[in-house]
Amino acid sequence: MNRPDELPVRRRGPVLLAAAGLTAIFTVALFGAVGALRGPEPVPAQARAPALPETTAPALQQALPVLPATPPPVRLSVVTVRLLKDQTLAQALFGLNLGAAEVKKVVGALTNVFPFRHARPGDQLRLERIEGEQAVRRFTYRQSAADEWIVQTSPDGALQGYKRQVELHTELARVAVTIQSSLYESIEKSGEDPSLAVDAADVLAWDVDFYQDVRAGDSMKILVQKVFADGKFLRYGEVLAAEYAGSAVGRKRLFRYTDPTGQISYFDDAGNSARRGFLKSPLKYAHVVSRFGNRLHPILGYMKAHQGIDYAAPTGTPVWAVGDASVEQAGWNGGCGKSVTLRHRNGLETVYCHLSLVSVHAGARVSQKQVIGAVGATGMATGPHLHFGVKQAGHYVNPLSLKVPRDAPVAPQLRADFLEKTAPLKQQLDAAGPAVL
């Protein structure tokens, strides 16, 4: 009889097999853990990659590109000034702390490129140099948007000068204003440059005296070319047509006509010439402050005949000859101060007094609208103005009462050409909306 703790033989076999299996699994797991702790088995020598020779690492370093160090940013020193009165370009460059050698290079680069005699006060000078260096990197001389000269370093290291090329284009514009105070202010309020008032007054100078004929409520229309440089307004071109409608002078219309020979002048609708032997005044724009006749003299303090007309204008305002003439006198003339006297072919003489500058000399020939001097306050004058007198047969006459005939009208053989060329101008002057030709 078997004891309780003994199992039958046939049941002990499976139990022993199960125990042996567990032991094997435990052993494998144990060796695996030990292997993980020891690290991977060494690779056999024959299976390893061949070792790199000692010279390989430096060779690889030489093969890799070497990045250059980033240079410090270039800092420019830029100075902009204006040319002063009576200052030469060289003097202005010395004033910018340029050495004599650099000044000579800049002036030399502009020789035969820049018209030095046309340099004028107010021109802009711009100098560019690398900060800390004295050499010129770039120099710019600018008179306007269309007149700019550049000096810069060429590939060979020398300074080279040239005039910058500017794209110009012209548009036609119609300007219409109603005058409230003066033509100048009315043009300015319309959004146009007030210099257009001077151009328009120049065209109508034979028919309208803008010093005494202007009244509030008068109107004016101008057909004018506008010149643009690089898309920006530069200046006005030719006035192709102008119309003034005023209570004192009526309606005046003039058109610019170029005949087949190239002669240019202004004519009214009927072909009558705008040009007369005399202009109505010797200034483009001013106003009368003292008329012809007896008056209380502002300096002497008693009544005295005023043998002319006084026009108020700022010192330096250009004074032009009212007609073609020869210069009889030019220079100092007692109480008249600096003055010019002109003798005209029709026997009349004109006198221009109190000038700050005389631009002609005795014996010279002058043409109508030629500048002969500038307004001033020399001689017996209390302030800047122009005294204008006219002599006829040796006696002073009222300049405002002169009746001067017009020049010849359009020749009969040119009338058809005149009408054809001025017809579109008439349409544009009277049309509404933008002017297009």
Distance CA 432, CA 112 (A): 48
Do 158 and 126 lie in one domain? The reply is yes
Q: Are 359 and 371 in contact (CB under 8 A)?
A: yes
CATH number at residue 102: 3.10.450.350
Do 296 and 390 lie in one domain? The reply is yes
Distance CA 435, CA 437 (A): 7
Give the highest mean pLDDT range of 37-41, 54-58, 423-427.
Answer: 423-427
Long-range contacts of 133-136 (CB under 8 A, 24+ apart): 134/98, 134/99, 134/102, 135/102, 136/98, 136/102, 136/105, 136/106
Token output for 35: 């292997």
Distance CA 154, CA 324 (A): 52
Q: Which residue type does 265 have?
A: S
The residue-averaged pLDDT of 106-112 equals 93
Residue 355: inside a domain: yes
Indicate the burial class of 87 (C-beta count within 10 angstroms; 0-12, 13-18, 19 or more): middle
Mapped onto helix, strand or coil, the DSSP state of residue 436 is coil
Q: Is the pLDDT of residue 334 over 60?
A: yes
pLDDT confidence bin for 73, thresholds 50/70/90? confident
Do 352 and 248 lie in one domain? The reply is no
What residues form DSSP beta bridges with 262? Answer: none
CATH number at residue 314: 2.70.70.10
Q: Are 246 and 218 in contact (CB under 8 A)?
A: yes
Residue 26: inside a domain: no
Q: Are 351 and 325 in contact (CB under 8 A)?
A: no
Its domain, for residue 205, covers: 168-267
Q: Which residue type does 292 have?
A: F
Higher-scoring residue by pLDDT: 47, 377: 377
Do 185 and 157 lie in one domain? The reply is no
Which residue is listed with tokens 């006060």? Answer: 121
What residues form DSSP beta bridges with 95? Answer: none
Contacts of 170 (CB under 8 A, 6+ apart): 225, 226, 227, 228, 237
Task: Give the total number of structural domains in the chain.
Answer: 3
Which residue is listed with tokens 């003097």? Answer: 91
> What's the chain's Rg over C-alpha atoms?
46
Which among 145, 163, 181 is the end of a domain? 163
Residue 276: inside a domain: no
Do 345 and 387 lie in one domain? The reply is yes
Do 181 and 238 lie in one domain? The reply is yes
Which among 135, 163, 191 is the end of a domain? 163
Residue 436: inside a domain: no
Do 203 and 124 lie in one domain? The reply is no
Distance CA 142, CA 163 (A): 10
Do 394 and 298 lie in one domain? The reply is yes
Distance CA 245, CA 213 (A): 11
Residue 227: inside a domain: yes
Average pLDDT score, the chain: 80
Strand 293-296 and strand 309-312: the pairing is unpaired
Q: Which residue type does 303 have?
A: M
Residue 216: inside a domain: yes
HSE toward the beta carbon, residue 6, CA cutoff 13 A: 5
Q: Measure the CA angle with vertex 347, ends 344 and 348; round to 5°.
A: 65
Which among 114, 133, 163 is the end of a domain? 163
Do 255 and 357 lie in one domain? The reply is no
Residue 309: inside a domain: yes
Higher-scoring residue by pLDDT: 310, 240: 240
Residue 273: inside a domain: no
Do 125 and 193 lie in one domain? The reply is no
The residue-averaged pLDDT of 398-404 equals 78
CB environment 383-402: b (16+ within 10 A), e (fewer): ebbbbbbbbeeeebbebeee
Q: Which of 360, 343, 404 is nearest to 205 (CA)?
A: 404
Per-residue pLDDT tens digits for 191-202: 898 889 888 888
Do 326 and 368 lie in one domain? The reply is yes
> How crowded is residue 175: how many other Cβ atoms within 10 Å of its Cβ?
22
Do 308 and 215 lie in one domain? The reply is no
Give the highest mean pLDDT range of 5-9, 154-158, 288-292, 407-411.
Answer: 407-411
Q: E-assigned strands of 67-180?
A: 76-82, 124-130, 138-144, 147-153, 159-163, 168-178
Per-residue pLDDT tens digits for 345-388: 878 899 999 999 999 999 999 998 899 999 999 998 888 989 99
